[in-house]
Amino acid sequence: MISRRAMIAGGALALAGWRSRSAHAESDAFLPQGLPDGVYDTAILEALPGKRPLIKLSYRPPNYETPLSYFTSPFTANDSFFVRYHLAGIPEEIDAAQWKLTVGGEGLAQPLELTLSDLRTNFDAIEVAAVCQCSGNRRGFSEPHVPGVQWSFGAVGNARWKGTRLRDVLERAGVRREAVEIVLNGADGPVLDGTPDFVKSIPLGKALDENTLLAYEMNGAPLPHYNGFPLRLILPGWTATYWMKHLISIEATTKPFTGFWMKNAYRIPNGKFPIVEHFLSQMTAVNEPITEMVINSMITAPAHGDTLRAGGTAEIRGVAWDGGYGIRRVEISTDGGDNWSEAELDDDVGRFAFRVFRYAFTPPRPGRYQLMARASNAIGQMQTAKLIFNPAGYHNNVTRPLTVDAV
Amino acid sequence: MMRWMLICGLLMISDRAVRAEEAIALKDAPGRDVVAGYCGACHSLDYPRTNARFLDRKGWENEVDKMIKAYGAPIGENDAKAIVDYLAANYGADR
């Protein structure tokens, strides 16, 4: 189907000609409306090694998002999964046989050094289906726009993650009573000495949760390089900032970790978002670290600008997710939010996973229709209709309409 | 110093990425080389290009300040001003 918007844009550009025609006409086909101008001028579809063409927002460090049209199943394929790095010092290749994870810190009784084979053979293997979503997913839609990677819908994916429970590893090392946080570091790092290495911490309670994994497999295959090979943290329900890639070190601390990426970055203003789980040892009087994902959904078909047949039935399909409380209902509006009807939900594949929804839509007459989806969960939360602005553009779960025409 | 930073940055990435990155054209205007040299040492130049055109001069000042104070970019006062001037003039909201 040819995007109506691409056609209109192409025509307008031919007339106006003030912007690079090829660049804009091209990005228009895979980018939604509402992003900063510069994104349409710069973003391209490009394949990293081992990946399908994704939307390239930056080369170095690589930040590539999944086009909406790729979300055709509840699980996101490894070659379609988004890529996000903070710092450009990325390991080119990692030899899994030589790789080691160090486990230590003053909060543990017995330091350990583990190989990948230790993890695979000496611990139980657990598999969890979970959504991995960048805290800044949809930042590009913020009004007003805020600086950062200008993500649209695609800094999110759902996969089956298999690995060792972090709890089992910590228990083997002996968690001391004084332990407060678990600090995680990966093999990627900064270009300059003066740039803080990307290091994160999580509360001890989350580290000991049965769903928190050190994953070496994703959807039945080794992790792709750009998704953290050979080992990454999986923290179901919480945003991807904690899901440390290329994991090389785990430390239990007896004091709150004070690194830049905890103390200064990835913080949200207190009290603005409906958050159940807080990171208590990192809270201040004004802000707190981002924690669980807010409830969200996206329509994956039809696409913005598609043409449907009046009187014919089309399926509106998409996925919904939250912080693990359980999607209970997804409602669809075909008139821009005035009226809502309940969609059908596919089988639940896990409370941390995408929940697929479907709705049979028969446009009664020719014309333009504004399609929207809004999800609610088992603890009574619903997506917001109005943006909850915050300076870093986190937690954007606004119900966004897309437009289709029936002829 | 600038050349050293650029070399360090480029060594980290593959030839393929370097070639693709070279296609990112910043607007040819005064200050372009200072921006390419300093900013390009740690990240590709599509960062400023995608973050356009919504930051006013103050907004770009804050970004450059963050790169210096939070991320340790060794940029002197005059070069920092040249970078802000260029970004505000070419990728700013108040063009």
* pLDDT tens digit sequence for A355-384: 999 999 999 999 999 999 999 999 999 999
Which residue of A lies nearest to B18 if distances are taken between CA atoms? A59
Give the lowest-confidence range in A13-22, A41-50, A95-104: A13-22
Report CB contact under 8 Å: B12, A190. Answer: no
Residues whose CB falls within 8 Å of the CB of residue A390, separated by 6 or more in sequence, listed in order: A268, A269, A272
Query: Which pLDDT belongs to residue B25?
Result: 85
Q: Which residue of B has its CA nearest to A195?
A: B71
What is the Cα–Cα distance from A89 to A383, expressed in whole angstroms? 37
Segment A88-97 mean pLDDT: 94
pLDDT at A205 over 60: yes
Residue B41 sits at the chain A interface (C-beta within 8 Å): yes
- Angle (CA) B33 B36 B39, round 5°: 135
When pLDDT is cut at 50, 70 and 90, the band that residue A27 belongs to is: confident
Please check the confidence at residue A4 and state whether its pLDDT lies above 80: no
Q: Which residues of A touch B (CB under 8 A)?
A: 36-39, 41-43, 46, 56-62, 87-90, 92, 144-145, 147-150, 190-196, 260, 264
Please tell me the distance from the alpha carbon of residue A43 to that of residue A53, in angstroms, as a whole number.
12
DSSP A107-133: TBSS-EEEEHHHHHHHS--EEEEEEEE
Question: Among A96-110, A217-231, B6-20, which stretch is predicted with the lowest mean pLDDT?
Answer: B6-20
Pairing of strands A181-186, A156-165: unpaired
pLDDT of residue B18: 65
pLDDT at B22: 73
Q: How far is A201 from chain B (nearest CA, A)?
A: 19
State the number of CA atoms in the 13 A half-sphere of A147 facing the CB: 18
* A255-264 average pLDDT score: 98
Peptide bond into A144 cis (omega under 30): yes
What average pLDDT does the segment B60-76 reach?
A: 98
- Average pLDDT rounded to a whole number, residues A103-112: 98
Please give the model's pTM, rounded to 2 decimal places: 0.92
Chain A residues within an 8 Å CB radius of B73: 192, 194-195
Per the listing, tokens 């911490």 go with A201
**At residue A317, does pLDDT exceed 60?**
yes
So what's the pLDDT on residue A17?
Answer: 31
- Hey, how many other C-beta atoms are within 10 angstroms of the C-beta on A92? 8
Q: What is the mean pLDDT of residues A262-271?
A: 98
Instruction: Enter the DSSP assignment of A61.
Output: T
- The ipTM, to two decimals, is 0.90
Residue B35 has pLDDT above 60, yes or no: yes
Average pLDDT, chain B: 85
**Is it the case that residue B16 has pLDDT exceeding 70?**
no
Contacts of B86 (CB under 8 A, 6+ apart): B29, B30, B31, B32, B34, B35
Please say if the pLDDT value at position B6 is more than 50.
no
- Asked if the Cβ–Cβ distance from A37 to B52 is below 8 Å, we say yes
Average pLDDT in the A312-340 region?
98
Q: Per the structure block, which two tokens stand in for A311? A: 């009187």
Question: What b/e sequence results for A358-373 when a residue is b if at least 16 CB atoms lie within 10 Å of its CB, and e otherwise?
Answer: bbebebeeeeebebbb
Residue A338 pLDDT > 60: yes
Q: Residues of chain A with pLDDT > 70: what percent? A: 94
Does residue A23 surpass a pLDDT of 70? no
